[in-house]
Chain A
Amino acid sequence: MNDAPAPAPPADAPQADPKLTHAAGEWKHTSPLLSCRFDPSGQFVFCSAQDNSVQRWNIASGQATALNAHDSWVRALAFNPAGNHLYTGGYDGRVFVWETAAAQPTPLRSLNAHDDVAHEGWVRAIAVSPDGKTVATCGNDNLVRLWNAEDGKLLNVLSGHSKHVYNVMFHPDGARLISGDLKGEVREWDLATSEQVRTLDGGSLWKYDEGFRADIGGVRGIDFSPDAALLACGGISEVSNAFAGIGNPLVVVFDYATGEKKQSLVTSKKLRGTIWNVHCHRQGFVIGCDSGHEGGHLLFWNTNDPNEFFDFKLPNLCYDSDLHSDGLRVVTAHQDHVLRIWRMTAPAA
């Protein structure tokens, strides 16, 4: 996640209207896409793919540049607040730091806990603190690691999760960190002491399937509302068939002050899918990127209503999304190799 709060828009800035969502650009790769992020400047979109590469797409020129260093799929993409550094985390356990706009990108450094890896097993997510000084990573070793962004040195290890840690995000105040795991456990950590402060119950995003004999679910997407009053966690719930991944997309919205569940955002139709990422828009609505047996969807909710107020059908399954800092555009990474940008305003005449 890019945890730097988006700058407040000018008073006369255009407002997003999800019901006006329309295609605003696309770029096709040669392999199914996994993750995507706008860079903070909004000049580029980065995406990762099943060919182990990360691709940088210049939105204006359409030029694509490959970032090749990982030995496996890359699922974690994050920027520092200044936007000049990109962090990539892969299923090879490695985290690389890149110059965002380099003409011929090569890693500036890697974050190494030992043996050139940041985590044992997959790196699932990366977050950078609002002041840009600390990087948080998490992964399949059930750990959260904190790194010095300046020199890449390991600062601390936060242990306590009993399952793979799927997501990590800094609180906008920079003093606390949130991590969410396969079992839907959401933990809050005090960064001054590196102690766990409390656990929020996202258990509805997890199931141990007795027939399948495996865990299914997890905190697939996580985001704070701009005022940090709400924390949204997305994933799959009510799994009826783990073999085929049949459940219902769900976003659990917590009242962050109390830690209590405020709302469960569901879908009016049985989409039999998973929320792969979630975004709290500055206008107060929540966006969920859903994919499953009914295809791909961008779902829009108001947090006072459990049902979506708008369901935008995507042309293909998508496994990640990101919200542009202008609040008007969303990018989605698709299984059909296509990176798509959507604009939530009236189409240009």
Chain B
Amino acid sequence: MKCQYACGTAEHVLERRRFLGTIAGMAGAATLGAPRMVQAAMPELVAGDKHIIMIWLAGGVSQLETWDPKPKTNTGGPFRAIPTSVPGMHICELLPHTAKQMHHLAIVRSINTKENDHGKGAYCMTTGRKQEPVAQYPHLGAVGAKLLAPEDSPLPGHIHVSAGGSGGSGNDAAYLGPRYSSIVLGDGNPPRNTALPEGITPEADNRRHAFRTSVNDHFAKRRRWAESDAFVSSFDQARQLMERRDVFDVSKEAVKDQERYGNSEFGKQLLLARRLVEKGVSCVQVTHSNYDTHYENFDFHIEQLGEFDQPFATLVADLVERGLWDKTLVVVMSEFGRTPSINQFHGRDHWGTAWSVALGGCGIQRGAIIGKTNDNGTEVADREVDHGHLFHTYLSAIGVDSSGEFDAGGRKLPMADPAAAPITELLA
């Protein structure tokens, strides 16, 4: 039955928004504002069946020290290439554990975003679009949450496990609305304000909830609004999230799994990502920091990739063993790569001209290498692609027609840049 709302004035909306706190803003975003208008103009996916894990190597990881080594060239640096589990595929020696999992993964070695700025590069890679002054586009995680998260999920659809930070909510869903904005777990900690305040017992909280429900029901009989429904829903969802707080607690995982991922902060965060996916969260971003190595690039890549390699390889193996690999798109990306030329401080600088990402899982061909760079990595030699192609590919990989549109209040908005297309040979 269509409900009859009293009115829809902006004043009410404003008052309601003032009321909402952090957690209510997080869960309540499920029913507020633009998202209720936005529909995917395409067949429904099986909600909750597919997931995305984006591993963000902040600052710009070097493609030469990861996926596209150029040993014994004037740009190659000191590291050697090692064979992988895919015959003929070599990656940098800094990734020995990952090398053993490459038969599950693919590499795109021919990215040219023409973007060397951190912020703009990040925007390109996470939204599939160039940054524009007059338009905002949603983050891959927000798009994924919109397309993949069940409507009634008690958990957020888009979670960002950040390196540092105090938590809170991201502002990265653009026209999809705050429901799909990332919930930031600072250092992998649970969302803020999800524990009962000190002095409030569960019994007291239940009585408080019963009273609130009673008052809400009474109010709704006389004056029912979209916003009052949102208000009620936000509290209900926040309550569900609080009841599931242990979803964010990796110590609940088996000891052998904790040991397998290792004791590093990043290892715990990848284990959390797997746990969240297994519990039904659609999109998880884990950020590992920092790769912006203008100085001593090689020392720092030893340290950072030393933290990355073993937990990441474990994540891949773990998802495969649990039967989640074919349901989960895993992408390792940065805002750009790093210059092939080694600067005078033994560093590498920003480089969006010829670099790589690695990805695998849902919808991605195993063991593929797409494109190539020239002998010393200074330019793309074959199959140049950019952020737009990659974004189309991610959507295609999770089973979405990337030429589809979102319907935002009657306004048709392409999900991905219409000027680009999926990298079809990368798709399984």
Residues of A in contact with B (beta carbons under 8 Å apart):
31-32, 50-52, 71-73, 91-92, 121-122, 140, 164, 210-216, 242-245, 292, 317, 319, 335
Which one of A73, A245, A319 lies within 8 Å of B295 (CB-CB)? A245
Whether A121 pairs with B302 at a CB distance below 8 angstroms is yes
Whether B290 pairs with A214 at a CB distance below 8 angstroms is yes
- Docked CA distance A18–B293 (Å): 35
In the complex, which residue of chain A has the Cβ closest to the Cβ of B75?
Answer: A50
Which one of B78, B298, B303 lies within 8 Å of A214 (CB-CB)? B303
- Docked CA distance A140–B298 (Å): 12
A interface footprint on B67-84 (CB within 8 Å = 1, 0 otherwise) = 000001010011110000
Query: With contacts A50-B342, A335-B344 known, is A245 near B294, CB below 8 A?
Result: yes
Which one of A31, A50, A164, A210 lies within 8 Å of B164 (CB-CB)? A210
- Docked CA distance A335–B296 (Å): 13
Whether A243 pairs with B290 at a CB distance below 8 angstroms is yes
- Whether B289 sits at the interface, judged by CB under 8 Å, is yes
- Docked CA distance A242–B78 (Å): 21
Contacts of B48 in A (CB 8 A): none
Contacts of B80 in A (CB 8 A): 71-72, 92
The minimal Cβ–Cβ distance linking B347 to chain A, given in whole angstroms, is: 7
- Docked CA distance A91–B94 (Å): 12
Whether A245 pairs with B303 at a CB distance below 8 angstroms is no
Which one of A92, A140, A243 lies within 8 Å of B293 (CB-CB)? A243
- Docked CA distance A215–B303 (Å): 8
- Whether B361 sits at the interface, judged by CB under 8 Å, is no
- Docked CA distance A214–B264 (Å): 13
Whether B292 pairs with A243 at a CB distance below 8 angstroms is yes
The minimal Cβ–Cβ distance linking B76 to chain A, given in whole angstroms, is: 9
In the complex, number of A-B residue pairs with CB atoms less than 8 Å apart:
62
Ordered by A's residue number, 28 sampled pairs between the chains whose C-beta atoms are within 8 Å are: A50-B77, A52-B72, A72-B80, A73-B77, A73-B78, A91-B78, A91-B79, A91-B298, A121-B302, A164-B302, A210-B164, A213-B163, A213-B289, A213-B290, A213-B304, A214-B290, A214-B300, A214-B304, A215-B303, A243-B59, A243-B290, A243-B293, A243-B294, A244-B294, A244-B295, A245-B294, A245-B296, A292-B345
The minimal Cβ–Cβ distance linking A73 to chain B, given in whole angstroms, is: 4
- Docked CA distance A121–B347 (Å): 19
- Docked CA distance A242–B294 (Å): 9
The size of the chain B interface, using a CB distance under 8 A, is 26
**A72, A73, A215, A244 — which one has the most chain B CB atoms within 10 A of its CB?**
A72
- Docked CA distance A164–B303 (Å): 10
Q: 8 Å CB contacts to A: which residues of B293-342?
A: 293-296, 298, 300, 302-304, 342
The minimal Cβ–Cβ distance linking A49 to chain B, given in whole angstroms, is: 11
- Docked CA distance A335–B344 (Å): 6
In the complex, which residue of chain A has the Cβ closest to the Cβ of B294?
Answer: A244
Whether B342 pairs with A32 at a CB distance below 8 angstroms is yes
Whether B296 pairs with A216 at a CB distance below 8 angstroms is yes
The minimal Cβ–Cβ distance linking A97 to chain B, given in whole angstroms, is: 21
In the complex, which residue of chain A has the Cβ closest to the Cβ of B58?
Answer: A213
In the complex, which residue of chain B has the Cβ closest to the Cβ of A295?
Answer: B344
Whether A140 pairs with B294 at a CB distance below 8 angstroms is no
Q: 8 Å CB contacts to A: which residues of B327-383?
A: 342, 344-347
- Docked CA distance A335–B79 (Å): 19
Which one of B72, B290, B346 lies within 8 Å of A211 (CB-CB)? B290
Query: With contacts A216-B296, A243-B292 known, is A140 near B302, CB below 8 A?
Result: yes
In the complex, which residue of chain B has the Cβ closest to the Cβ of A210?
Answer: B164
- Docked CA distance A148–B426 (Å): 54
Contacts of A92 in B (CB 8 A): 80
In the complex, which residue of chain A has the Cβ closest to the Cβ of B266?
Answer: A213
Query: With contacts A214-B300, A214-B304, A335-B344 known, is A243 near B295, CB below 8 A?
Result: yes
Known: A122-B78, A212-B300. 13 other contacts (CB 8 A): A31-B74, A164-B302, A210-B164, A213-B164, A213-B290, A214-B290, A216-B296, A242-B295, A243-B295, A244-B295, A245-B295, A245-B345, A319-B346
Contacts of B295 in A (CB 8 A): 242-245
In the complex, which residue of chain B has the Cβ closest to the Cβ of A273?
Answer: B345
In the complex, which residue of chain B has the Cβ closest to the Cβ of A75?
Answer: B78
Contacts of B298 in A (CB 8 A): 91
Contacts of A211 in B (CB 8 A): 290
The minimal Cβ–Cβ distance linking B142 to chain A, given in whole angstroms, is: 26
Whether A317 pairs with B344 at a CB distance below 8 angstroms is yes
**A32, A51, A52, A214 — which one has the most chain B CB atoms within 10 A of its CB?**
A214
Contacts of B79 in A (CB 8 A): 72, 91
The minimal Cβ–Cβ distance linking B330 to chain A, given in whole angstroms, is: 22
The minimal Cβ–Cβ distance linking A52 to chain B, given in whole angstroms, is: 7
The minimal Cβ–Cβ distance linking A167 to chain B, given in whole angstroms, is: 14
Q: Which 7 A-B pairs have the closest CB atoms?
A: A245-B295, A73-B78, A91-B78, A72-B78, A213-B289, A212-B290, A243-B292
- Docked CA distance A71–B80 (Å): 8
- Docked CA distance A32–B59 (Å): 26
Whether A245 pairs with B74 at a CB distance below 8 angstroms is no
A interface footprint on B120-149 (CB within 8 Å = 1, 0 otherwise) = 000000000000000000000000000000
The minimal Cβ–Cβ distance linking B357 to chain A, given in whole angstroms, is: 21
- Docked CA distance A215–B346 (Å): 16
Contacts of A214 in B (CB 8 A): 290, 300, 303-304
The minimal Cβ–Cβ distance linking A16 to chain B, given in whole angstroms, is: 29
